[in-house]
Structure 1
Amino acid sequence: MSRNKICKSTIVAVMVAGALMLTACGGASVPDKYNYDDFSKYVKLGKYKNLEYTKADASVSDTEVQDAINTTLEQAKTKEQVKEGTAASDSIVNIDYTGKINGKKFDGGSATGYELNLGDSNFISGFAEQIVGHKVGETFDITVTFPANYSNNTELSGKKATFTIKLNSLVKTVTPEYTDEFVKKNTKFKNKAEYEKNLKNQLLKDKKAQAASSEKQELFQKILNSSKIKKYPSKELKDAQKKMIDTYKALAKKNDMSYEKYLKSSMGMSKKAFENQAKVAAKNTVKQELVLFALAKQYNIKVSDKEYKEYLDKLLKDAGYTRSQYEKAAGMSIEKYADQNNLYDTMVYEKVMAKVLKDSIAK
């Protein structure tokens, strides 16, 4: 399990990601939120029964199975050091090199056992090209000129350098043959037939989960679009805005910057502009949450403390963590992670949308 990363994007997108999709990225008590006996003073729910939705495809083709096999073979590739031959323009080579300017070594100009793809090199112009045609075991000099605007080290800009290069080997990538023996050695299955059957079943399971997710999102969006907010609850509205502001304050601290400076550099916004947009984003979030929890009320759906704890424990187990291991790795408890990433909302969403999906009509 990894902690969510917040990339540079619109504020609304950040807030919507935490509510509309309602997916995480994964003694616990259920968060105290939206515990209203009557949601009607806040939201008028749109139609949520007998809705039509597009039935998503959940079939698996032979091509998809073969693609998965190819991925397995790609991951099992090995490298061979070929000790004879001549470097071609598309070769991968293993080299030692020492760079000098006016006879003196410079920082970052030397390496041993370096693998370089001559056909896709990000080295300065002329470096890789001058290795082509040399033989394995050969030691030779090449001369290159650093670009005038060399950003990696301005002291080298425009300078001519000589590199002494030893071509240690050519590097050959070997893709294993797909056989029963390969399957037995690299998987828990005895032969290709067993492996492919399991692979197809797993792909089908994943496809069904993706299809169900797509169908639920389509239905939730329809309900959301047809629902009307009468009044925003002040507590949840303030909490949603504060959560976003606190997130960016924490990011600023992590980057050793002031809150205002971080907003300017990462978002291109002033504190005032950011917090005004955060108010708009908070309203979008609260609308989605109101609709969700109002639906939960209609369907009499609840999540107990026991269910919530078991859900968090399963996330940890699936990710291979104990609670203490996770806290050490993430720097926070699983409960805090769950709160930051709306995992309680995820549970409610899945329960609610299972009911909505059952009450809807596929087309």
Structure 2
Amino acid sequence: MKKNILAVIMTVMLTVMMTGCGKSNAEDQKAPAQSGESTEQEADESAEGAGDQQEHSDEPAYLVDFHAGDYVTLGQYKGVEVELLEPEVTQESVDEYMEYVLSSHAQSSPVTDRSAQNGDIVNIDFEGKLDGVAFEGGSAKGFDLTIGAGGFIDGFEDAVVGMEIGETKDVDLKFPDFYKNNPDLEGKDVVFTFTLNSISEQTIPELNDEFVAELGIDGCATVEDYTKFIHDGLMEQANAAFEEEKTSAAIAAVEANVTFEPAPEGMTNRMKETLMDTVSSYAQMYGMSVEDYVAAAYGGSADAYEDVILEEAGKMAQRYLMIGAIADAEGIAITDEELDRILEEEAANFGYEIEEYKEELDVEAYREYLLVQKVVGFLADNAVVKEPVLE
């Protein structure tokens, strides 16, 4: 699982802003660079005092609690060079997508006047036996099989080719030497009994103006219209992927130019809790233990997953501070007015009263989320894209 810096940052931001428990009093300590309510001198005094309290605290800490520049020394961050291929859509890509659309509209029709052949969808009963005894997972009735689709041991699908409807036959097959689904069957000779119940074939529609009209897409009445529609859609996807890659590459390039000090404990601990929540959710989604998911996603051993999470949390906290330092240097901020306006719009969209909606959020973390969006957008806009040198 290759990590993407932008994806990691934004995933954590989205998670952390929903963490309502353990909030600090950050809303009462907002730096004037974000609130616009104090003088610069008051900002320095407020942030310095908060930073002294939070640096070695176990309490959750936010960018507003520190002078980010005390923990990072910025290098070049405007105009960093990133190597990327410009987005494009080839005719081959358009043709492949067109074939996919046609295949998805294929019609199935029964076949009764011939034997089964490659590409057919057949309905079969089968039973596998090892030394005359049926083995677990080797039998099924009324199973639909697409001949040639793959996914079975060698010879399984080929065994059905040439069979007639209602025919039953035994076929000698052999499991591969490595078979993770059932290691007990590795390298074993078995006998499968097949019964062919029915045959059907897929008829792919012809690409013509009539087919395009049936799709009901506004502005598409002809094959030419639809071809342009597909090209434009793929181009939109390519542009979006390009912008995401450029943003991630820009962040990585900027990070490479930064000298970091260890992040404050309060911020690192906050990131650790958030990362643990995030990886636990993903581990459950993939049916993995947290330990194994962390090892797969971040490296290291499963036994040392807590150390890996702590290390990643420290890096994430440093990235936050890097973003905060750039925001300070460029005068990029999320004012109280801007934050309130966005929260009010979102509360209305989700059917909440504004105060009720704020109770569901870690509001200061959400301010950070919005700030990250602004800063990474700034970095991407100022990055210089160069064509990679192909060897």
Report the TM range for the smaller structure's normalisation: 0.5 to 0.7
Q: In structure 2, what is the equivalent of residue 94 of structure 1?
A: 122
**What is the RMSD computed on CA atoms of the aligned residues?**
4.9
Q: In structure 2, what is the equivalent of residue 163 of structure 1?
A: 193
Q: Superposed, which structure 2 residues align to 1:1-363 within 5 Å?
A: 13=3, 17-19=7-9, 33-36=62-65, 38-54=67-83, 56-88=85-117, 90-97=118-125, 99=127, 111-120=140-149, 122-123=151-152, 127-135=156-164, 137-144=165-172, 152=182, 163=193, 165-169=195-199, 171-189=200-218, 190-192=220-222, 193-247=224-278, 269=301, 273-297=304-328, 298-302=330-334, 304-307=339-342, 310=345, 347-361=370-384, 363=386
1:168 aligned counterpart, secondary structure: strand
1:40 aligned counterpart, secondary structure: helix
- How many residue pairs match? The answer is 330
1:86 aligned counterpart, secondary structure: coil
Conserved? CA contact 1:144–1:161, under 8 Å: yes
- Deviation of 1:68 after TM superposition, in Å, equals 2.9
- Deviation of 1:85 after TM superposition, in Å, equals 0.9
What is the TM-score when the length of structure 2 is the normalising length?
0.63
Conserved? CA contact 2:247–2:376, under 8 Å: yes
What is the TM-score when the length of structure 1 is the normalising length?
0.67
1:35 aligned counterpart, secondary structure: helix
Take 2:154 and 2:308, find their aligned partners in 1: how far apart are those partners? 46
Take 2:89 and 2:287, find their aligned partners in 1: how far apart are those partners? 49
- Structure holding more helix per residue: 2
- Structure 2, unaligned stretches of length 5 or more? 27-61, 387-391
Take 2:317 and 2:380, find their aligned partners in 1: how far apart are those partners? 23
Q: Describe the superposition over 1:319-354 as per-residue Cα deviations: whole angstroms up to 9, x where unpaired.
A: xxx789xxxxxxxx9x98x98xx9876643332233
Conserved? CA contact 1:15–1:244, under 8 Å: no
1:300 aligned counterpart, secondary structure: coil
Change (3 A) 1:87 1:308: same
Q: Describe the superposition over 1:115-173 as per-residue Cα deviations: whole angstroms up to 9, x where unpaired.
A: 224445555666544433332x3423325478699965969x9797673613422x322
Take 2:237 and 2:173, find their aligned partners in 1: how far apart are those partners? 52
- Deviation of 1:245 after TM superposition, in Å, equals 3.9
- Structure 1, unaligned stretches of length 5 or more? 1-6, 315-321, 325-332
Change (3 A) 1:348 1:75: farther
Q: Describe the superposition over 1:165-199 as per-residue Cα deviations: whole angstroms up to 9, x where unpaired.
A: 13422x32222211111111124134133333333
Conserved? CA contact 1:16–1:285, under 8 Å: no
Take 1:132 and 1:21, find their aligned partners in 2: how far apart are those partners? 49
